[in-house]
Amino acid sequence: MRFGFHISISGGFSKVPDRVPDGCGTLQIFPSNPRGWKKKPLNKDDVEGFKIRVKEKDLSPVVVHSTYLPKINTPKKDLREKSIDALNQEIERAEALGGDYFIIHLGVKGGEIELLKDTLSRLKYRTIMILLENTCYSRFKDMGIIMKDFPDMGLCFDTAHAFEAGYDLRREDKFRDMLKEIDDHIGIDRLKLIHLNDSMTPLGSKVDRHYHIGRGYIGALGFINIFRDEYFSTLPGIMETPGCEGCDAMNLRAVQYLSQY
């Protein structure tokens, strides 16, 4: 498994690859400032510098995560139109950066399915694959209702979100039940990427709080179940764990250790 982290784009994209910790083989970034609607034009030299260093460091896949502001499930027409426009700008930037995957959160609640389908149908992409990520209240069978209409889109599996939604990754039997649900309703082959995050909140909390690998409620056993799985173990794993001095190195050591079980 290739491990990586979500990396800051502060100061320009060309600086990103050199922030990737030693021992990592992939990375994730935002396509722009994650807290602003307005996007600065891409600088050609900055983009080229990013792509050159990614290739030199053999970082693959390049994962781009949508920013915080777009709301793909809002019933407010003006906000949804603004969100669709923003996402299409972000996808265009992600493709210019040579991204392989573009991730969008897909939280399915009652009454939102048609809104979500309409939004996804209006996204414009050519060279990048859209991955829909489970949220802390997502059920995979509900995601499957939407994803069956978009066969060219894939799944990003977030460990913390799944646990917080009620999937007990610590128990092998429950983990296998979840895999069957994914395969039955989405197709396990459409799962392309894992977000490796422990959870600060307990099973079924529906509260999204990431924590350090093996130190939250999922614990070591949940990650061992993931790493032991024949399919999951072939996928890239991106960590979005809390930032602090030395924390990335600590979390990388943790996943490297647990993946050997």
Question: What's 156-219 look like in SS3?
Answer: EEEHHHHHHCCCCCCCHHHHHHHHHHHHHHCCHHHEEEEEECEECCCCCCCCCCEECCCCCCCH
Structure confidence at residue 196 (pLDDT): 98
> Which pLDDT value is given to residue 110?
67
Output the pLDDT for position 94: 98
Q: What is the pTM of this model?
A: 0.97
Structure tokens at 156: 């990003």
What does the pLDDT read at residue 90?
A: 98
Q: How far apart are CA 178 and CA 161, in angstroms?
A: 13
Name 106's Cβ contacts closer than 8 Å, sequence gap at least 6.
72, 116, 132, 133, 134, 135, 138, 143, 146
d(CA 260, CA 228): 9
Which alpha helices (H) appear in the chain, and where do they start and end?
44-56, 77-96, 113-121, 140-147, 159-164, 172-185, 219-228, 247-258
For residue 218 the two structure tokens come to: 């999922």
In the prediction, which pLDDT does 11 show? 96
What are the per-10-residue average pLDDT scores of the chain (261 residues)? 97 97 97 93 98 98 96 92 97 98 87 90 98 96 96 98 98 98 98 98 98 98 98 98 95 97 88
Nearest to 133, CA basis, from 164, 175, 174: 164
Distance CA 62, CA 25 (A): 10
Q: Which helix (H) or strand (E) holds 154?
A: strand 154-158
